Amino acid sequence: MATPNYGYEKRQRELAKKQKKEEKAREKAARKHGEAPAADEAPRDDAAPAPSGDAADGND
């Protein structure tokens, strides 16, 4: 069985942390300049659509 590569896993965590930190800095700079965040960064209301009434009522 192969042994875990802890160094690789640590590097991936560090890269993810760095990327997240850079993204937050970009968002903060955009807010500072009065710009709105991009559309794909905005929370979406339709993320979990409500079930239809026909299937949810249980009457067959």
- Domain ranges, ordered by start, for the chain: 1-35
Over residues 16-51, the pLDDT tens digits come to: 999 999 999 999 999 988 865 555 555 556 655 556
**What is the per-residue pLDDT for 59?**
66
CA angle, 45 as apex, 36 and 16 as ends, to 5°?
60
| Residue 60 to residue 56: CA distance in whole angstroms | 11
pLDDT of residue 33: 84
Dihedral of alpha carbons 40, 43, 45, 48, sign: positive
Predicted confidence at residue 43, as pLDDT, reads 56
59 dihedral zone (left: phi>0; alpha: psi -120 to 50; beta): beta
pLDDT at 9: 97
Q: Which of 1-10, 12-21, 27-36, 48-57 has the highest mean pLDDT?
A: 12-21
Is the pTM of the predicted complex or chain greater than 0.85?
Answer: no
